[in-house]
Amino acid sequence: MGTGDLESYGSNKNHRGVSGGPPTGGSYYTTSTPYQTETSSDKQWTSWLVPMIVVANVAMFFIIMLVNDCPKNHNSSLQGDCVAKFLGRFSFQPLKENPLFGPSANTLEKLGALEWTKVVDDHQVWRLVSCIWLHAGVVHLLANMLSLVFIGIRLEQQFGFVRVGVLYLIAGIGGSTLSALFIKSNISVGASGALFGLLGAMLSELLTNWTIYANKAAALFTLLIIILVNLAVGMLPHVDNFAHIGGFLTGFLLGFVLLLRPQFAWQERHNLPVEARSRSKYTVYQYAFWLLSLILLVVGFTVGLVMLFKGENGNKHCSWCHYLSCVPTSRWRCDNQ
């Protein structure tokens, strides 16, 4: 997953700028990847949901640019000419306004970007979901969709479209909720919260299904490196790392709930007569993580949504948390908290 993380798009409010389908049968893991399991009975599902999500996001971006219509709605005397004017109404805002080759902040806000005042004061709760399907520019869209294909197809092949779809949507909402709690002056768009949810689910799936993996250390190391690199990128300006963190935590907990697999010893004994089976399908720690994660999810969403709709500012309860989204240096300022 590259730098295509959910962008915090905008600055302050006086100046807006960029800130289970049926199993297919006999498909098994045969390559020696870090995620290879010790059993050869893993069926793969046909992946269709993730490609559909990609198509939906691309189609939505075309609609965004159609509505944006830079040549008609942009005043070139203030911020320069539209970029790629040969595209007509699909041309991009000036790079000074949006360096990601995309629309204006006003267009994104009109079409459902996440904005604190709209959600809290105007009760537009739907923005917690709609913002997941919007992107700030071509760069943002390509990076996120490539990441989704890389992460999502593997998960859908293993666990089916129902569980992956639930993961994607709820993790996206979790990311939007945390973002709205901590970032009040910007608008946020993008699928990165949902993508980080899939990453979090991959990590918890590895931990809860530990006995079935052949290359445990390699798989864990690879995942941790990917996660840490992307969280570090989220500390750059104009990137909404709170959406990443919220999505990751939501997906991590959901992975323990939705992605359980029978332990390896049970799979080995599964074809024996019933009286010869001495192991349960799942381990005690799998059940324990399932229950604990479910409780934390319910409590977390309840507390987060109650705080949000009461108009709470998360920064007042955590004076250092803004550093999780942007770390100021001599090269850039963090003026979007």
Active site residue 192: yes
8 assigned to active site = no
Catalytic residue from among 147, 179, 192, 204:
192
Residue 44 contacts by C-beta under 8 Å, 6 or more apart in sequence?
23, 24, 27, 28, 157, 158
Question: Catalytic pick from 74, 135, 140, 244?
Answer: 244
Closest Cα to residue 264, out of 201, 208, 209, 217?
209
Distance separating alpha carbons of residues 66 and 153, to the nearest angstrom? 30
Backbone angles phi, psi at 283, to 5 degrees: -85, 165
What's 7-324's CATH class? Answer: mainly alpha
Ordered by start, the domain boundaries in the chain are: 7-324
CA distance 161 to 168: 10
Rounded Cα distance, 269 and 271, in Å: 6
pLDDT at 66: 95
Which pLDDT tens digits describe the chain residue by residue (337 residues)? 444 444 555 444 433 333 344 333 333 333 345 555 554 445 788 899 999 999 999 999 999 999 999 988 877 666 678 898 899 899 999 888 888 899 999 999 999 999 999 999 999 999 999 999 999 999 899 989 999 999 999 999 999 999 999 999 999 999 999 999 988 888 899 999 999 999 999 999 998 888 777 777 887 888 888 888 877 776 665 678 899 999 999 999 999 999 988 875 555 555 555 554 555 677 888 899 999 999 999 999 999 999 999 988 888 888 877 777 777 776 666 654 4
